[in-house]
Amino acid sequence: MIVIFPTKYDMERKQYHLNSNYYYMKEVFQKQHYRFIDLLDDVPENLKTAQIRAYFGPTLHYSAEGNAWAARQILGYLERNNLLQKEKSPATQLNPN
């Protein structure tokens, strides 16, 4: 599965109803039937600029808060699509003998 992590600029563009910088890449993924999650889809359009900035550190990398947000979005996607293994299969359990 492909995970697209938007930049703070992509989040700011969404506030103005503009396409992300990777819009065309998503079209390719869709045409190729790749399974992907775009974390920008879970960003509300009315997200405040201060909150967007809190998701990023002094560089373009996510802050601890941004990483926690991204992890929640990914986990939610996996849960909604039943992609989490709830029980270990017999093949993955260690044989005690």
* Per-residue model confidence as pLDDT tens digits over 44-56: 888 888 889 999 9
Number of domains in the chain: 1
Domain-embedded: residue 41: yes
Amino acid at 57: G
pTM of the complete model: 0.78
Residue 94 confidence (pLDDT) above 70:
no
Domain-embedded: residue 94: no
CA–CA separation, 2 vs 37, rounded Å? 6
Is residue 8 exposed (0-12), middle (13-18) or buried (19+ Cβ within 10 Å)? middle
Give pLDDT, residue 2.
95
Domain-embedded: residue 92: no
The residue range of the domain holding 21 is 2-82
Domain-embedded: residue 91: no
